[in-house]
């Protein structure tokens, strides 16, 4: 048997993009993420740094401050995704997070789980490169939580 024939038999098709779904592109995802950082996370860090801890030196020497900030941001992000499927950044770029199988907005627990998996996945370079190799542009945290980021107005 020739190598070409063996390779053709062994190739399994990657799950093709589902018809009728307009997947969000990488650029829109990044812009929405940056917008969320400026609109939600930076104010949280400012309040923690200057309101609760008394200054940047105390914040920088603390491990509790950043942990509280990320946890609070995760809860707020999950609330937005649970209520409307959109954070302010995603709303600015007409994106919505939905469950892949039902096409409905996520439950609060699933939205919180998606954020936790996002935090864990963002620690690896591989996770950042996954959308570049997929036709549906789903990130690793979307694959692990069975969610998808779609364009609302196509």
- Per-residue pLDDT for 14 more than 60? no
- Per-residue pLDDT for 43 more than 60? yes
Distance CA 48, CA 65 (A): 7
Beta-carbon neighbour count of residue 142 at 10 Å?
Answer: 25
- Per-residue pLDDT for 10 more than 90? no
Q: With CA atoms as reference, report the closest residue to 48 among 35, 33, 67.
A: 67
Mean pLDDT of 114-126: 91
Mapped onto helix, strand or coil, the DSSP state of residue 150 is: strand
| Length of the chain counted residue by residue | 154
Instruction: Name the burial class of residue 23, with classes exposed (0-12), middle (13-18) and buried (19+) by CB atoms within 10 angstroms of its CB.
Output: buried
pLDDT of 22: 85
Give the residue numbers spanning the domain of 76: 23-151
* Torsion angle in degrees (nearest 10) through CA of 123, 93, 86, 136: -60
The proportion of the chain whose per-residue pLDDT surpasses 90, expressed as a percent, equals 67
> Is residue 9 a part of any domain in this protein?
no
> Is residue 15 a part of any domain in this protein?
no
Instruction: Please state, in angstroms and as integers, the Cα–Cα distance from residue 64 to each residue in 32, 48, 68, 116, 117, following that order.
Output: 27, 10, 6, 17, 20
> Is residue 1 a part of any domain in this protein?
no
pLDDT of 126: 85
pLDDT in tens, 55-90: 999 999 999 999 999 999 999 999 999 999 999 999
Q: Torsions phi, psi of 39, nearest 5?
A: -90, -25
Judged by phi (left if over 0) then psi (alpha if -120 to 50, else beta), residue 149 lies in beta
> Is residue 80 a part of any domain in this protein?
yes
> Is residue 140 a part of any domain in this protein?
yes
> Is residue 3 a part of any domain in this protein?
no
Look at 10-24, 99-113, 123-137, 138-152 and tell me which has the smallest mean pLDDT: 10-24
- Per-residue pLDDT for 5 more than 90? no
- Per-residue pLDDT for 1 more than 70? no
> Is residue 8 a part of any domain in this protein?
no
pLDDT of 7: 63
- The number of domains in the chain is 1
Residue 103 DSSP one-character state: -
> Is residue 7 a part of any domain in this protein?
no
């Amino acid at each position: 048997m020739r190598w070409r024939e063996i390779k053709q038999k062994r190739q399994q098709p990657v799950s093709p993009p589902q018809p009728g779904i307009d997947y969000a592109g990488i650029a829109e995802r990044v812009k929405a993420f940056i917008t969320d950082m400026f609109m939600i996370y930076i104010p949280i860090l400012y309040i923690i740094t200057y309101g609760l801890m008394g200054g940047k030196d105390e914040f920088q020497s603390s491990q509790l401050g950043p942990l509280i900030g990320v946890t609070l941001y995760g809860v707020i992000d999950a609330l937005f995704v649970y209520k409307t499927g959109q954070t302010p950044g995603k709303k600015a770029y007409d994106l919505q997070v939905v469950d892949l199988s039902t096409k409905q907005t996520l439950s609060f627990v699933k939205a919180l789980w998606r954020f936790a998996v996002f935090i864990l996945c963002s620690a690896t370079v591989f996770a950042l490169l996954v959308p570049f190799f997929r036709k549906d542009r789903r990130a690793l945290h979307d694959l692990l939580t069975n969610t998808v980021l779609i364009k609302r107005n196509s």
